[in-house]
Structure 1
Amino acid sequence: MTYVSAFIVGGIICVIGQILMDTTKLTPARILVIFVTSGVILGAFGIYDKLVDIGGAGATIPLPGFGNSLAKGAIKAVKEQGLLGAFTGGITGTAAGITAAIFFGYLMALIFNPKTKS
């Protein structure tokens, strides 16, 4: 049942993104920013954690989950370090994900030799 709920929650997030792409003139980059920002806002109010409890990886893997991680890291660091933690906490909380994205992106670029579109 865990896999089904993760599939449903992740699928709903993807459907929202597809609807935004099909029905608005928003660029994909703006939609990505909206997703991260919505994850930060929902995470700051504790709403996104309830979605993670329901959907598991279906909620933590997409971009709103990244925003939620940013918010959680910043909130934790502010409690520990004060105002300076607002600037450092988000990066600390998401460092593993950012590092993995850079590493695997570089690895794929080495393997598949990317080319620019003409």
Structure 2
Amino acid sequence: MSVVFEYLKAFLVGGAFCLIGQILIDKTKLTPARILTSYVVAGVILGAVGIYQPLVDWAGAGATVPLTGFGNVLAEGVRKAVDEKGVLGIFTGGFTAAAAGICAAIFFGYLFALIFKPGDKS
């Protein structure tokens, strides 16, 4: 399969997630925070029931980069940890699976806060 087709699939799926989010912002009274949280929860639910993984396999980064992908990582981490550790895996699996991404977000957020001077937009 060509690289261009892979990019196109990722762009279309990621764009569809963005389109849905924009429609929710424009047509409902949901706040952006509630929409973002809903995306993570939807990723957890779809990942837990096994629906999200075929989308990840087909669309690649178009499905793993949005917040639904983060929810899917949490669900997959819990599933693996439960298989390995039993009930204790329910509490540790999500943290273990998402630790690298969360650490990177904190590190780079802190780094950019040191480099750039924050200020009001006014």
Q: Which residue of 1 aligns with 2:101?
A: 97
Alignment root-mean-square deviation, CA:
1.1
Aligned-pair CA distance for 1:115: 2.4
CA–CA distance in structure 1, aligned partners of residues 43 and 26 of structure 2: 21
* Paired letter, 1:45: V
Amino acid at match of 2:106: I
Say whether residues 1:110 and 2:114 are aligned partners. yes
| Structure 2 unpaired stretches of 5+ | none
Structure 1 unaligned regions, length at least 5: none
Quote the residue 1:47 is aligned against. 51
The amino acid across from 1:58 in the alignment is G
Matches within 5 A, 1:39-78: 39-78=43-82
How far apart, CA to CA, are the structure 2 residues paired with 1:117 and 1:70?
A: 35
Aligned to 2:11: 7
**Hey, which bits of structure 1, 4+ residues long, moved more than 2 A?**
115-118
The normalised TM-score by structure 1 is: 0.96
Q: Compute the displacement of 1:117 (Å).
A: 6.0
Partners in 2 of 1:116 and 1:98 — Cα distance?
Answer: 26
Work out the number of aligned pairs and report it: 118
Identity of aligned residues (%): 68
